[in-house]
Amino acid sequence: MNINIKKTILSATIATMAVGGLTTSCVKDLDVTPINPQQTLILNQDALLNKIYASFALTGQNGGAGSGDIPKEIFDNEGMSGFYRMSWSLNEFTSDEAGWVWSDAGVPELLHNAFAASNTFSFAMYYRLYFTITLCNSYLDQASDPQKCAEARLIRALNYMYVTDLFGAGPMSTSISSELAPYYDRKQLFAFCESELKACVEDLADEGTNTYGRLDKAAAYILLSRLYLNAEVYTGEARWDDAMKYAEMVINSKYYHLLETGKTNPVTNEVYSPYQMLFLADNNENGAQYEAIFPVILDGIRTQSYDATNFLVFSTYGSKESDAIPSGTNNSWGKCARVKGKLVEKFFPNGDAPETDNLAEMISKAKDDRALFFSKGYSQYVETEDASEGFSCVKFRNVRSDGKKAQAENFVDTDLPLLRVAEAYLTYAEASIRKNGQNPTANKYINKIRARANAEQKGSYDLEDVFDEWAREFWFEGRRRTDLVRFNRFGGQSEYRWEFMSNQPNGGSFSSNFNVFGLPSTDLDTNTNLKQNEGY
């Protein structure tokens, strides 16, 4: 049987396997013995691979709540325990992009860059990553299909890349074992991810030949380019040539490409730019599927959770936003997520952002299709916890470009483009400028991105331009902290500031130790091989 990951069947099916609470470093967590001695468990390999893919969109076995993957002792709110929501919170709340109105446990410490190793989100994210790594190990211990094993290896490497980036160290396990996992520092984790991504390429499907939602060679190329772009941070050794090499392999793909065609909704007459089309409910078929190298599949009927694009749509919309720019849902959380003023400056450096509920006016004034903000009744800068401070994000929507209705209003159909082609263009541009200074190829690639957004094109770009372009192209997509660290705009510096950075209204400095998160004390107590990160 061939696994077929589609919107219509993706689910948390793993009925043949019981998964225990992940409370140690990958120690026998999937080694489950039946209570009935007459019963023999037979692993359904395709169900497990489906579960591995589903771990990017779902949080447990019963929709948005019930039988959560992460035990309540680790995170008692299953809705917040998803891979993307937690990684997004760690990378966006700590940065110059996203604020939050509610005082959820763990969020203020992230917003104020004053988190401990016990922070709710970093603590649970650590276990989420190793939960998925353990699923991959279990699959690889028993499966034999070369292509599917290559996909599981790539997903395992992707999760270890998040460990490398967020924690800088951790236990390393590639199989299910009762032995304590060895400790890997950042250089060792980098080397493992590099070797795994290179090793699995040969067995991955050629670009565009796999089922939509499943991985192919381009995913390995773009992850290698990302890994090499951050190599200097991770290992102390720059790898700009390698970053360019693999980025260009994506850019030159005969299947994947930037979406450069917009559309007019035949029912509402709303005009969608190519950039907006990436984040609509039919982005699996409106042309955006050719830009999404790894789309995390969402389905309003069959993949119900409060993670991924469900989280992105629900948290950014309030009733005012929905009245003017429909979200396509009835599950608004009242604009609890908000845009920090520092991000708005990337589009309006002269402080002239309009106060409007008309998206066309906002885009026109910014001269950039990516300025998807709702500002009417809101101040630009976040100074308190008042919800009237900070613009709204109206980038992610459960609305189809063809005028048809999404399947449901309480959960979204909008797929999450976790890896997309635009990253390769900016990766190449940054790496080439860092190595060679301003150059024609970098200029061409940045202009390609800006042309798609109808933004002004320039004759040359420097690193400062690239830094701002990462924000404009990928804002609220869960990567900003990583970019800030690479540009030395995060911990250990005081030149670049945003509101309430280090809990100072106008921004303050904080230690470079906070460029990584602390390892959970529970794992340190259990696994004596591990070492805590400096400063925690």
Angle of the 240-251 helix axis to the 217-229 helix axis, nearest 10:
150
SS3 label, residue 240: helix
Does position 270 have pLDDT exceeding 70, yes or no? yes
Residue 36: other Cβ atoms inside 10 A: 7
Q: Which of 159, 174, 158, 169 is nearest to 26 (CA)?
A: 174
Residue 37, pLDDT score:
54
Q: Are 300 and 407 in contact (CB under 8 A)?
A: yes
Tokens 């650590």 belong to: 126
Q: Is there a contact between 216 and 208 (Cβ–Cβ < 8 Å)?
A: yes
Coil vs helix vs strand at 525: helix
Give the pLDDT band (50/70/90) at residue 64.
low
Q: Among 31-40, 212-221, 243-252, 425-434, which stretch is predicted with the lowest mean pLDDT? A: 31-40
- Whole-number percent of the chain with pLDDT over 70: 92
Q: Give residue 39's pLDDT band: very low, low, confident or very high (50, 70, 90).
A: low
Alpha carbons 4 and 281: distance in angstroms, whole number: 20
Q: Please write the tens of the pLDDT for every residue from 483-507.
A: 999 999 999 999 999 999 999 989 9
Dump the DSSP string for 127-183. Answer: HHHHHHHHHHHHHHHH---HHHHHHHHHHHHHHHHHHHHHTS-EE--SS-BSSPPPE
Cβ density class 152-190: b for 16+ within 10 Å, e for less: bbbbbbbbbbbbbbbbbbbbbbbebeeebbebbebbbbb
Single-letter amino acid code for the residue at 362: M
Give the pLDDT band of residue 10 (cuts 50, 70, 90). Answer: very low
Average pLDDT, the chain: 91
Is pLDDT at 19 greater than 70 in this prediction? no
Tokens of 379: 């101040």
Q: What pLDDT does 332 receive? A: 80
Three-state DSSP class for residue 291 = coil
Q: In the structure, what pLDDT confidence band is assigned to residue 313 with cuts at 50, 70 and 90?
A: very high
Q: Decide if pLDDT at 36 tops 70.
A: no
Residue 492 burial (CB < 10 Å; 0-12/13-18/19+)?
middle
Alpha helices (H) in 201-340, listed in sequence order:
217-229, 231-235, 240-251, 274-277, 308-316, 319-324
pLDDT of residue 15 exceeding 60, the answer is no
- The pLDDT-based confidence of 104 (bands split at 50, 70, 90) is confident
Burial category of 38 from C-beta neighbours within 10 Å (exposed 0-12, middle 13-18, buried 19 and up): exposed
Of 188, 187, 203, which is closest to residue 153 (Cα–Cα)? 203
**Of the candidates 404, 405, 406, the residue with the CA atom closest to the CA atom of residue 300:** 406
Q: How confident is the model at residue 14 (pLDDT cuts 50, 70, 90)?
A: very low
- Look-up of token digits 């994947």: 256
Among 100-104, 283-287, 478-482, which is the least confidently predicted range?
100-104
DSSP assignment, residue 304?
Answer: -
pLDDT at 353 over 90: yes
Q: Which of 6-10, 95-99, 377-381 has the lowest mean pLDDT?
A: 6-10
Cα distance between residue 119 and residue 122, in whole Å: 6
Alpha helices in 475-535 (DSSP H): 480-486, 521-526
- State the Cα–Cα distance between residues 69 and 71, nearest whole angstrom: 6
Please report, to the nearest 10 degrees, the dihedral formed by the alpha carbons of residues 520, 521, 522, 527 taken in order.
100
At residue 12, does pLDDT exceed 70? no
CA distance 16 to 40: 10
pLDDT, tens only, 271-293: 999 999 999 999 999 999 999 99
Q: How many C-beta atoms lie closer than 10 Å to residue 195's C-beta?
A: 11
Q: Which residue type is seen at 466? A: V
DSSP lists the bridge partners of residue 389 as 379
β pairing state of 263-264 and 392-393: unpaired
pLDDT > 60? residue 217: yes
Report whether pLDDT(213) > 60: yes
pLDDT of residue 28: 35
* Tokens, residue 312: 């992105």
The answer to which of 71-85, 275-289, 370-384, 475-489 has the lowest mean pLDDT is 71-85
Is 205 in a helix, a strand, or coil?
A: strand
Q: In angstroms, how far is the first alpha carbon of the chain from the final one?
A: 48
CA distances to 24, 77, 88, 114, 280 from 332, rounded to whole Å, are 37, 18, 19, 29, 17
What's the pLDDT band for 42 if we cut at 50, 70, 90?
confident
Position 40 confidence tier, pLDDT thresholds 50, 70, 90: low
Secondary structure (3-state) at 247: helix
> What's residue 444's pLDDT?
98
Distance, in Å, from the CA atom of 468 to the CA atom of 464, rounded to the nearest integer, reads 6
Can you give the residue ranges of every domain in the chain? 263-290+298-418
pLDDT computed for residue 68 by the predictor: 83
Which residue's entry shows tokens 């039946």?
A: 34
Q: Is the pLDDT of residue 263 over 50?
A: yes
* DSSP symbols for 66-83: SSBSS-TTT-S-GGG-SH
Contacts of 113 (CB under 8 A, 6+ apart): 94, 491, 501, 502, 503, 510, 514
Q: Model confidence at 77, in pLDDT bands (50, 70, 90)?
A: confident
From the list 120, 113, 145, 127, the residue with the least C-alpha distance to 526 is 127
Structure tokens at 173: 């396990």
Tell me the pLDDT band of 21, cut-offs 50, 70 and 90.
very low
Q: Taking Cα atoms as reference points, which of 158, 169, 163 lies closest to residue 194?
A: 158
